């Protein structure tokens, strides 16, 4: 197994009486992408702000490569790049001028700064707009420039706090391309989001957080295995589904749940193949499906399964 790069241990943070982060622990291995997922107000931003040393925890520690992250300047913090939710750009400066400012903050000068500007602008696909002022950029382009800024000092760990909020689809794809390239370059990422499909696309490991607490800390495959149904079948019948029919389906091996709404049956299955048994049963009962469709269960349902609420209620 690859070595642990970041170790977050028992982080706790309250704002007055509100306990925002409650004993949060997780790890990021070298080259790993960890998705930190939870609904609005779950404590994701507070957690990543503490990981970056921007917010002082009430308790707990953050270690990167064995060095503790604390507030203020430190060598360990140089290994982190942070892309906050709020954009930190000078609107009346060009993309390249903005990046030069970030380079100066990290002591990168002259030819090195120019070369690094070009590299990161290429990574976020903005090289052709290098000379344009940030104020002329779309929201998504500004966010990509923000990612470029966080990459100027070539950090080992890039932390992105909800990078696709308010972003157009084109920039969203460009952001994913950039993150996939960084992954291929062996960088580690922490990505916060309340969109499971985004986290699912990128993450090797998922940490689910709700009301400041970690509910799950697993690989996507392990999370899938926790879902009672792995596949779904929707059948539309000519006749309204009758309760005895539902009972019969429920009794079949591999059927995890049956919901009937008029003539439409939504059936949760242990495996995709279990759909065949359901179709056979319906045929034997003389039911003629007007339409049917199979689907894989979405990881999105794991939050519902863990909390009884949907991720974006």
Write out the binding residues for ligand ATP, residues 139-198 only, by CB under 6 A. 194
Q: What is the dihedral of CA 3, 77, 203, 300, to 10 degrees?
A: 130
Cβ proximity to ligand ATP: between 18 and 271 the closer is 18
Number of residues that bind ligand ATP (CB under 6 A): 12
Cβ proximity to ligand ATP: between 35 and 38 the closer is 38
DSSP conformational letter for 228:
S
Q: Is 96 helix (H, G, I), strand (E, B) or coil?
A: helix
Q: Which of 2, 10, 40, 293 is in the footprint of ligand ATP by CB under 6 A?
A: 40
Q: Sketch the per residue contact string, 192 through 231, with ligand ATP: x for CB under 6 A, - otherwise.
A: --x-------------------------------------
Two tokens, residue 13: 């943070």
Two tokens, residue 214: 């970690």
Cβ proximity to ligand ATP: between 199 and 227 the closer is 199
Q: Is 238 helix (H, G, I), strand (E, B) or coil?
A: coil
Task: Examine residue 38 and tell whether it contacts ligand ATP (CB under 6 A).
Answer: yes
Q: Is 57 helix (H, G, I), strand (E, B) or coil?
A: coil
Q: Which stretch binds ligand ATP (CB under 6 A): 39-47, 107-115, 216-224, 293-301?
A: 39-47
Q: Which of 8, 11, 34, 42 is in the footprint of ligand ATP by CB under 6 A?
A: 42
Residues in Cβ contact with 48 at an 8 Å cutoff, skipping those fewer than 6 apart:
36, 82, 159, 161, 190, 192
Q: Which of 45, 146, 171, 188 is in the footprint of ligand ATP by CB under 6 A?
A: 45
Q: Which stretch binds ligand ATP (CB under 6 A): 35-43, 135-143, 266-274, 299-307?
A: 35-43
Write out the binding residues for ligand ATP, residues 246-265 only, by CB under 6 A. none
Task: Examine residue 15 and tell whether it contacts ligand ATP (CB under 6 A).
Answer: yes
Residues in Cβ contact with 256 at an 8 Å cutoff, skipping those fewer than 6 apart:
228, 229, 268, 269, 270
Do the Cβ atoms of 81 and 150 come closer than 8 Å?
Answer: yes
Shortest reach from residue 162's CB to ligand ATP, in Å:
6
Task: Examine residue 287 and tell whether it contacts ligand ATP (CB under 6 A).
Answer: no
Angle among Cα 144, 71, 121 to the nearest 5 degrees reads: 15
Residue that is written with structure tokens 């990612």 in the block? 147
Task: Examine residue 18 and tell whether it contacts ligand ATP (CB under 6 A).
Answer: yes
Cβ proximity to ligand ATP: between 18 and 291 the closer is 18
Do the Cβ atoms of 134 and 89 come closer than 8 Å?
Answer: yes
- Return residues touching ligand ATP (CB under 6 A): 15, 18, 20, 38, 40-46, 194
């Amino acid at each position: 197994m690859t070595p642990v790069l970041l170790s977050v241990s028992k982080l706790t943070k309250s704002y007055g009486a509100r306990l925002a982060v409650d004993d949060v622990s997780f790890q990021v291995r070298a080259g790993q992408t960890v998705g930190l997922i939870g609904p609005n107000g779950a404590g994701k931003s507070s957690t990543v702000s503490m990981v970056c040393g921007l917010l002082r925890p009430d308790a707990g520690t953050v270690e990167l490569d064995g060095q503790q992250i604390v507030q203020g300047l430190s060598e360990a913090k140089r290994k982190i790049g942070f892309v906050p939710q709020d954009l930190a750009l000078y609107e009346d400066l060009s993309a390249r001028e903005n990046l030069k400012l970030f380079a100066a903050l990290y002591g990168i000068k002259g030819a090195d700064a120019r070369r690094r500007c070009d590299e990161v602008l290429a990574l976020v696909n903005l090289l052709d707009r290098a000379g344009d002022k940030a104020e002329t950029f779309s929201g998504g382009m500004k966010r990509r420039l923000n990612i470029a800024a966080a990459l100027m000092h070539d950090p080992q760990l890039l932390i992105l706090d909800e990078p696709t909020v308010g972003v157009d689809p084109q920039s969203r794809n460009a952001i994913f391309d950039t993150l996939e390239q960084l992954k291929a370059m062996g960088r580690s990422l922490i990505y916060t989001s309340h969109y499971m499909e985004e986290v699912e696309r990128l993450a090797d490991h998922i940490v689910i957080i709700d009301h400041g607490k970690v509910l799950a800390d697993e690989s996507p495959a392990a999370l899938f295995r926790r879902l009672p149904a792995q596949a779904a079948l929707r059948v539309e019948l000519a006749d309204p589904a009758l309760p005895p029919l539902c009972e019969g389906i429920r009794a079949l091996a591999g059927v995890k749940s049956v919901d009937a709404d008029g003539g439409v049956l939504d059936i949760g299955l242990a495996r995709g193949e279990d759909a065949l048994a359901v179709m056979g049963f319906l045929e034997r009962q003389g039911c003629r499906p007007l339409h049917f469709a199979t689907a894989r269960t979405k990881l999105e349902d794991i939050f519902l399964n863990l909390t009884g609420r949907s991720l974006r209620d």
